[in-house]
Chains A and B, each alone.
Chain A
Amino acid sequence: MGDVARPYPRPDRDTTPFWEAQNRHELVFQRCKQCEAVRYPVGPLCPRCRSFDFDWVVSGGRGTVHSYTVVHHQAHPAFPVPYTVVLAEMDEGPRVIAQLRTPPDGRCEIGMPVRVEWEDHPHQSLPVFVPDEDRGST
């Protein structure tokens, strides 16, 4: 961590349960009560059937790397380089952005299985991805 705090979410009336769940170390998604579609990012209406009724479901925390970037040029004081940011496609469907805790060989690959771990920051706990040793590379 640098001297400057990293940006953190400003929960609103839609997103507060999502961020509170992350502070409990749970990655949650909304699931429509009408059509059961899982949706993300957080929003009040199901874009599939336009129902306002939903539950929160807890993700199993497993997915695969859909894309990623290794950041080399420091653009923000809170994020010393290099670091890797992953877009993981979770088993439940949504794609989630989080940093990759660098694997032993230092590399990231598309298709690599990952699972969620948690980091506590001053304002907000956030997920990070780590290679999922229980599942071989696809």
Chain B
Amino acid sequence: MTIRNKAAIVGIGQTEFSKDSGRSTLRMALEVVLEALGDAGLKPQDVDGVVKMGANDDIFEIDLLRSLDLPNLRFFNEVPHGGGAACGTIAMAVAAVAAGMADVVVTFRSLNERSERRFGQSSAGGAVGGWMQYNLPHGLVTPAQWIAIFAQRYLYEYGWTTEELGRVAVLCRKHAATNPHAMMYGRPITLEEHQSSRWIAEPLRLLDCTLDTDGACAAVVVSADKAKRLKGKSAYIAAAAQGTGRRAEMMTSYQRASLCRLEEAEATAKELYRIAELGPTDIDVAELYDHFTPMVLMALEAYGFAPPGKAPELLGEGRLELDGDTPLNTHGGHLGEGYLHGFGHIVEGVRQIRGTAVNQVREVRTCLVTSGTAVPTSGVILSKEPY
């Protein structure tokens, strides 16, 4: 038995994305959960499962329980490893539904990352343990700096330049420019603007790095049988999986054989394609986690859209545009729409399957959504029809 098409996302919710939401993360979480339940034709009292992302989130299932007065909450957990967890929350929801441990599972992300807590800044002082003790004392203190070490090696090994990174940013900003929901709506960039943006940590420039965002998203997962009885337009979950790599650390797995391959994403891809009985050529739209541009190139390779070192050719040939083979980050991704740690990608994936996205791709049957890279990660394949 597999989990293939055993469950579906039947409701989604999303606040505006901004630099200052003007309200609490709890309030935003409640807004999107209610919106997602309404979208599905469900009520708060129907909810019996909550799965949250573990890192940097201060809203817990008991906060939802108290605020919404959930009388039947019987399945709750959280998925670790920051942005790697987004699709993992869907995977846990599918597991709960398939095992009969819950009927209606809510997953969500709510952050005031721009106005209250900026993750790109490090104030870590004092004594540090764990993996951080080998990096922070040397001034390697932020995600951009940790990722730069991988990116520099990738460009060196395959002979690419920072222009290849820039093309990822240009594409995401192009899609964001026509998405009224995006923080960068109406603000496309050129490759020249990318190349002249200031260095953050070489080879990463400002325009290679995700935005910081205030906002929230939610999704509701139920069994496929229940989905057929609900009013909402379902996105069936053809596969959901988590993946790891050897010698894993949080964003600093520098001891592994190659710094140019995303072992976690490769493992997730293998499991997703096995469960869904699909391959990369069957994917109609790809929403890939884009906190930093080089990781999108490596993810394209890990998920089988290009051989190792060849992802930049996809961009050069226009194959990731809305009318290309595999349209990429149709909402603008983290680089253009906003940074909800992968949850915006899930919501956009559902819209593409429903046919309701602003940058709608024609005849979408399947959508791959992936989560954070350089950490233990996760992904889902959404399907228009259960098969």
Residues of A participating in the B interface, judged by any CB pair closer than 8 Å:
4-10, 12, 15, 40-41, 47, 66-73, 75-79, 83, 85, 87, 94-99, 110, 121, 123-124, 126
- A110 to B203 Cα, complex, angstroms: 13
Q: For chain B, give the interface size range.
A: 35 or more
Q: Are A97 and B141 in contact (CB under 8 A)?
A: no
Q: Which residues of B contact A78 (CB under 8 A)?
A: 125, 139
**Docked pose: A77 CA to B137 CA in angstroms:** 12
Given A41-B134, A68-B152, A110-B156: A7 touches B201 (CB 8 Å cut-off): no
Residue of A nearest to B129 (CB): A10
**Sample of 10 more A-B contacts, CB < 8 Å, known A67-B149, A76-B142, A85-B138:** A8-B126, A9-B134, A67-B153, A68-B149, A69-B145, A69-B148, A72-B198, A72-B202, A99-B138, A110-B156
CB-defined interface of B140-179 with A at 8 Å, one 1/0 digit per residue?
A: 1110110011101100100000000000000000000000
Q: Which residues of B contact A76 (CB under 8 A)?
A: 122-124, 139, 141-142
Contact of B200 among A15, A73, A77, A99 (CB under 8 A): A73
User: Are A70 and B202 within 8 A (Cβ)?
Assistant: yes
Cα A78 to Cα B203 in complex, Å, equals: 22
Query: Which A residues touch B134, using CB under 8 A?
Result: 9, 41, 96-97
SS of A interface (majority): loop
Q: How far is the CA of A97 from the CA of B145 in the complex (A)?
A: 12
Chain B residue numbers with a CB within 8 Å of A68 are 149, 152
A67 touches B137 (CB 8 A): no
Known contacts A41-B131, A69-B148; A94 and B138 CB within 8 A of each other? no
Contact across chains for A72 and B200 when beta carbons are under 8 A apart: yes
Q: Which of A10, A47, A83, A95 contacts B128 (CB under 8 A)?
A: A10
